[in-house]
A and B are shown apart, each in its own frame.
Chain A
Amino acid sequence: QVEVDENGKIVDARFKTFGCGSAIASSSLATEWVKGKTVDEALKIKNTDIAKELCLPPVKLHCSMLAEDAIKAALADYRLKQDPNKEEPEK
C-alpha cells in the first residue's frame, strides 16, 4: 500500500508478505526505498537493486522480483484511482 501526496510524492508505504525471509526482507526494503520518492522515481526501482542490497543468493532472486512487481502494482493501482477513465491492463 502506498500513500501519495498532492505533489506525487510517496509519503508512506506498507507491506504485508507471507513467505520466506528473503521475500519479507525484499518487500520491507522496497517499502523503505519508495518512501520520499515520486511515483516515477519509485517505478525505476529494479529487483536487481534490491537483490544486490540484500545479497540475495541466486535461488532467492525471484523474491526481489516479487517486491518490484508489488511496487509497480501498487503504483498502477494509484494511477488508476487518479484517472478512472484510463484503461489499465489487469495484472
Chain B
Amino acid sequence: MQAALRRRLGGLRRALRGPGPEAAPRPRCVGPGVPPALRCWSCGSPLRGAEGPPHFCPGCRALQPPEPRPDLFRLMECDRSFRIDPQRLQRRFRSLQRAVHPDRFGQRPPKEQYYSEQHSSLINKAYQTLLNPLSRGLYLLELNGVEPAQETDCDADSVFLTEIMEINERLAEPKNEAILEEIETLIKVKQEELTKEVTAAFERDDLQEAKKLLAKMKYFANLEDKLKNKKIPS
C-alpha cells in the first residue's frame, strides 16, 4: 500500500517539478530571499531541496508553502524566453491548478488550505504574466535587471506620440460603432507589429530596444482599455 502510494506521489511530483538546477544559472535579482522550510510543517519529515513548487511532503502528502519569490518561467516550465508556446503554457497551468486548487483542499486543515490558496493564486499570476506579451516582456526585463521605462522618460519619439494622440482624440468622440471597430483593428495590428519587433529584439538580446518597444506597447494597451470602456453600454 505504501509503495503504491509512494509511486503515485513520485509520479505526481515528477510531473510538477520544473527543470533542474543545471538548466539555467540563477539570476541576481530573483530567487528565494528566505530559504524554504527544510521540514514538513505537518509531520516534520525532512523535505528534499525545493525544486519547482508546488510540492507535497514525501511523508504525509501535505501541501507545502510556495517559495517566496519563484521564477515564473520555471514554475510554468517554460524556457526563459520571449517566445512561448501558448498551448503548452495553458496545459501546464491547468495541470498545476488541478493539483493545488482550493476546491480540492476543502477537507484539509486550515493551514494547508491557506497554502493551496497561495499556490493557486501564484499560478494564476504566473499564467497571466506569461500569456500576455506586454507583461511577459516586462517580466523578462525585470529578470535581466533592466528597469521598465518610467513615466518621466522623455525620449519617446514625437511621431509616435502624435499617433497616440490622434487615436485618443478619435476615442474621445461620441460613440460610433464603425469608428470603434476601425480603431480596434488598428490597435490590434499595431500590437501584433510591436510584438514581432519585441520578439526580434529579445532574440538578439537587445534589451534596451525591447524596453523602448515595450513602452510603446504600454501605450497601446492603455488605448485598448479605453476602447473596452467605451464599448461598455453606459
Which A residues have a C-beta under 8 Å from some C-beta of B? 16, 18, 62, 91
Contacts and interface: CB of A to CB of B under 8 A. Distances in A.
Contacts of B152: 62
B165 A18 contact: yes
B124 interface: no
Contacts of A16: 169
Interface in B163-195: 164-165, 168-169, 172
A4 B67 CA distance: 64
Nearest to B169: A16
A62 B151 contact: yes
* Chain B interface, DSSP helix/strand/loop, else mixed: helix
A18 B168 CA distance: 7
8 contacts: A16-B169, A18-B164, A18-B165, A18-B168, A18-B172, A62-B151, A62-B152, A91-B158
Nearest to A62: B152
Nearest to A16: B169
B91 to A, nearest CB: 39
Nearest to B153: A62
**Listed residue (A16, A18, A62, A91) with the most chain B CB atoms within 10 angstroms of its CB:** A18
Contacts, number: 8
Per CB-CB distance, the 6 closest pairs between chain A and chain B, nearest first, are A18-B168, A62-B152, A62-B151, A18-B165, A16-B169, A18-B172
A12 B164 CA distance: 26
Contacts of B151: 62
Interface string B136-174: 000000000000000110000010000011001100100
Contacts of A62: 151-152
Contacts of A91: 158
Contacts of B169: 16
Nearest to A69: B154
Given A18-B164, A18-B168, 6 more contacts: A16-B169, A18-B165, A18-B172, A62-B151, A62-B152, A91-B158
Nearest to B226: A18
A91 B158 CA distance: 9
A91 B164 CA distance: 18
A40 to B, nearest CB: 26
A18 B151 CA distance: 14
B10 to A, nearest CB: 51
Contacts of B168: 18
Interface in B52-87: none
B38 to A, nearest CB: 41
Contacts of A18: 164-165, 168, 172
